[in-house]
Amino acid sequence: MEFDLSQQPEIVQQAYGYAVQAWELAMSWLLSPEAWSQFGLLVLAWLLAGLISRRMRPALARVIDPGEKENLFSTPRRFLLQFLPLISPLLAYALTGIGESIVRSLFDSGAVIAFGKRVFLFLAARALVRDIITDPFLKLLGRYILLPIMAIYTVGLLDVVSARLSETIVGVGNIRFSLMTLVRGIIAGSLLFWLGQWSNSQTTALIAQNKEMRPSIRQLLIKTAEFTIFAIAFLLLMNILGIDLTTLAVLGGAIGVGLGFGLQKIASNFISGVILLVEGQATVGDYVELDGGEQGKIVKMMARAAILETFDGRWIVVPNEDFITTRVVNYSDSGSANRYEAPFSVSYDTDINKIPPLIEAAVASHPEVLDVPYPPDCELRGFGESGIDFAVEFWVNGLDDGPNKYTSDVLFLIWNALKDAGVEIPYPQRVVEIKGGLPKETP
């Protein structure tokens, strides 16, 4: 049955032509003894591969699976264990390849065999995406890129589709490229992006395990590795797309001009960040206070800025340049102890000579108060209006008024010690003198 499609669009005519060719090919296979013999060989190869796979997979699993043992080969063996679902389709492909040479020698034809081999490869790709790949991004690529390509390859249209995509040219401004280049760029860019992310995470974990390095040096190495990995990925992508890398010199010049004018602060903050990581003046985990009043724990250091987390949970973004050009107080540098003081007062009726040893002993009983560099020290500060003013100085490894409440604990200890010793804690008192006496009541 033929149809007159001369008035239809070209794509409709081409689709009709491919449909007619497929119909003629299917009819020739159905009426050909050679084709039926090849179909039989494909079915036999698939059944035999399934039988061998059911017997082989448990044995291979027992040999490859390392169990709970941890050694140099444990990780590679667990990696190989994931690919056992591919045994059946790949074995069917191999058995079909052996039978193909026999069929071609007998019938001088192997079109059905070739089609069956492509089907087995498609089944292997489907098993790879469905049963083996666990990464969400790679599974997405396999589902929407690998499987469609394998389906086109299975029906024998991969060369036709590739040629059509290569002939179709699109342009964006002065840039012109083929759809094949665009598809190749999307596939290569996706794979390189994932590989860069994976390599960066592995490198970061490896560097973070080295506790002998200073934290600032580890951060610098992590940032350097990240920049290097993605720079290599970018250059590889440009090479795959066929873009001349010499043209990047123009882009580099433009970036240089931009840095000279509009990106001065960004460049300054980036360089300041590198200096911070090299010198180690402040690093992740330090509690710092800047000259502008910003204070908090450094939770993240980026190329442009550092993030401080305050005790009340707020995040403050501080440009790296502020750490270089302003005064910075680092309370956590080298794990040094910090000194705090707790003021209090006693009544004028108290024997003040007994107060320092009493309070020093009470404060020293706190488990977090240090004897080094100095033990607790109670000092007389002055004679107030309502009582005698004292203050006790103490050293602790940590920061007060955050996760730790050292001053509050010390004040509790002072209160209890004074109460146990019978020392009165004064409260404000005022004496009011009325000159001339009280006014007389008029009748």
Residue 361 above 90 pLDDT? Answer: yes
**pLDDT band, very low/low/confident/very high, at 393 (cuts 50, 70, 90):** very high
Which is more confidently placed, 391 or 260? Answer: 391
The Cα–Cα gap between 257 and 127 comes to 52
pLDDT computed for residue 345 by the predictor? 92
Highest averaged pLDDT of the listed ranges 24-38, 207-221, 377-391, 392-406 = 377-391
Mean pLDDT computed over 287-294? 82
pLDDT computed for residue 278 by the predictor? 73
CATH 3.30.70.100 intervals, the chain: 337-420
Q: Which of 29-33, 80-84, 111-115 has the lowest mean pLDDT?
A: 29-33
Q: What are phi and psi of 423, to 5 degrees?
A: -90, 130
The Cα–Cα gap between 125 and 154 comes to 11
Mean pLDDT computed over 72-76? 73
Mean pLDDT computed over 410-423? 92
pLDDT computed for residue 33 by the predictor? 58
pLDDT computed for residue 417 by the predictor? 93
Domain at 337-420: CATH code? 3.30.70.100
Q: Which of 50-54, 356-360, 437-441 has the lowest mean pLDDT?
A: 437-441
Q: Which of 31-40, 51-60, 83-92, 228-237 has the lowest mean pLDDT?
A: 31-40
Residue 364 above 80 pLDDT? Answer: yes
Query: Which residues are paired to 307 by β-bridges?
Result: 300, 317
CATH 2.30.30.60 intervals, the chain: 283-333
Return the CATH fold of 283-333. Answer: SH3 type barrels. (2.30.30)
Residue 311 above 70 pLDDT? Answer: yes
Residue 3 above 60 pLDDT? Answer: no
pLDDT computed for residue 354 by the predictor? 92
- 48 touches 95 (CB < 8 A): yes
Q: Which of 71-75, 249-253, 269-273 has the lowest mean pLDDT?
A: 249-253
Does residue 427 come out as left (phi exceeding 0), alpha (psi in the -120 to 50 range) or beta?
A: beta
> For the chain, what's the residue count?
443
Mean pLDDT computed over 393-414? 85
Which is more confidently placed, 171 or 291? Answer: 291
pLDDT computed for residue 249 by the predictor? 61
- 127 touches 86 (CB < 8 A): yes
The three-state secondary structure class of 170 is: strand
Mean pLDDT computed over 4-23? 58
Rg (CA), the chain: 40
Q: Give the type of residue at 15.
A: A
Residue 161 above 70 pLDDT? Answer: yes
Residue 405 above 60 pLDDT? Answer: yes
pLDDT computed for residue 321 by the predictor? 85
**pLDDT band, very low/low/confident/very high, at 257 (cuts 50, 70, 90):** low
What is the number of alpha carbons within 13 Å of residue 251 lying toward its C-beta? 5
What is the overall mean pLDDT for the chain? 78
